[in-house]
Amino acid sequence: DSGVTQTPKHLITATGQRVTLRCSPRSGDLSVYWYQQSLDQGLQFLIHYYNGEERAKGNILERFSAQQFPDLHSELNLSSLELGDSALYFCASSVDTRPNQPQHFGDGTRLSIL
Amino acid sequence: AQTVTQSQPEMSVQEAETVTLSCTYDTSESDYYLFWYKQPPSRQMILVIRQEAYKQQNATENRFSVNFQKAAKSFSLKISDSQLGDAAMYFCAYRSLYGGATNKLIFGTGTLLAVQP
């Protein structure tokens, strides 16, 4: 158990819909990262938040947005969903922003678009 | 931009034997971190081992060790005394020390390891 909690574990929805994925980092971790794992793109970094502030953006679509709340949990919002958004979405957390701090991953949310 | 390449999509090993998974990377940076993550069928991403590029000594964690060849930009993972529980997808990952790039892990495409009893 990594200590990172992601909900829900599975999500099935239709094209055009909007969903919210939730992540609670390990106790004491201030950094939250979101990654997408898909068959065609592999594992890709989406976005990083540190103590409530956005720190870096990766290959995140404009239809996607995220935020980190004062209690440090984070949400990834996906809107106008397309078939290609079907993927496993991981949240990871680390103590801070130092690169020597390992990122600990949650179990992921499996998103299926019908 | 940095890239990570895992040229072995699948590997197989007999229980109790040793297997080596390959990883190469491309970067112009002199300092960085390298990681191996394991993803079993349960789909968790589990950190196996990490290596700081400025350290000459290869990292070791129990049955897992790496062969880090900085000049060759190679970072292979050796699993000794393979166990059935080692069966998983293994990902090699790179993390920069510089600027905004330090925030992300860059992953290879993974190697699926099967362990035969």
DSSP for A36-70, please give it.
Answer: EEETTTEEEEEEEEETTEEEEE-S--TTEEEEE-T
Tell me how far CA of residue A101 lies from CA of A1, A55, A97, B34, in angstroms.
Answer: 18, 16, 7, 12
Among B35, B103, B108, beta carbon nearest to A56: B103
Among A58, A88, A100, beta carbon nearest to B52: A100
With contacts defined as CB-CB under 8 Å, which chain B residues touch A48? 103-104
When pLDDT is cut at 50, 70 and 90, the band that residue B97 belongs to is confident
Mean pLDDT taken over chain A = 94
Among A43, A56, A104, beta carbon nearest to B100: A56
Distance from the Cα of B98 to chain A's closest Cα (Å) equals 9
With contacts defined as CB-CB under 8 Å, which chain B residues touch A107? 42-44
pLDDT of residue B99: 63
Residues A23 and A92: their CA atoms lie apart, in Å, by 8
Would the pLDDT of B102 be above 80? no
pLDDT of residue B42: 86
Residues B113 and B104: their CA atoms lie apart, in Å, by 25
pLDDT of residue B100: 61
Q: Which chain B residue has its CA at the smallest distance from A5's CA?
A: B44
What phi and psi values does residue A86 have, to the nearest 5 degrees?
-60, 125
Q: Which chain B residue has its CA at the smallest distance from A103's CA?
A: B47
pLDDT of residue B64: 97
Count the residues in chain A. 114
Among B47, B95, B107, beta carbon nearest to A99: B95
Q: What is the pLDDT of residues A11-39, one digit of tens each?
A: 999 999 999 999 999 999 999 999 999 98
b/e map A52-70, b = 16+ CB within 10 Å: eeebbebebeeebebebee
Would the pLDDT of B8 be above 70? yes
Share above pLDDT 70 across residues of chain B, in percent, rounded to a whole number: 97
Would the pLDDT of A67 be above 80? yes
The amino acid occupying position B46 is I
Mean pLDDT taken over chain B = 93
Measured CB to CB, residues of chain B less than 8 Å from chain A are 32-33, 35, 37, 42-47, 50, 52, 91, 95-97, 100-110
DSSP-assigned states of every residue in B41-58: TT---EEEEEEETT--SP
Residues A66 and B44: their CA atoms lie apart, in Å, by 22
When pLDDT is cut at 50, 70 and 90, the band that residue A41 belongs to is confident
Distance from the Cα of B95 to chain A's closest Cα (Å) equals 7
The amino acid occupying position A108 is G
Residues B38 and B20: their CA atoms lie apart, in Å, by 14
pLDDT of residue A39: 86
* Consecutive H or E run containing A76: strand A74-78
Q: Which of these ranges, B13-27, B48-62, B100-114, has the smallest mean pLDDT?
A: B100-114
Average pLDDT over residues B74-84: 97
Q: Is the dihedral of CA B86, A7, A2, A95 positive or negative?
A: positive
Q: Which chain B residue has its CA at the smallest distance from A40's CA?
A: B109
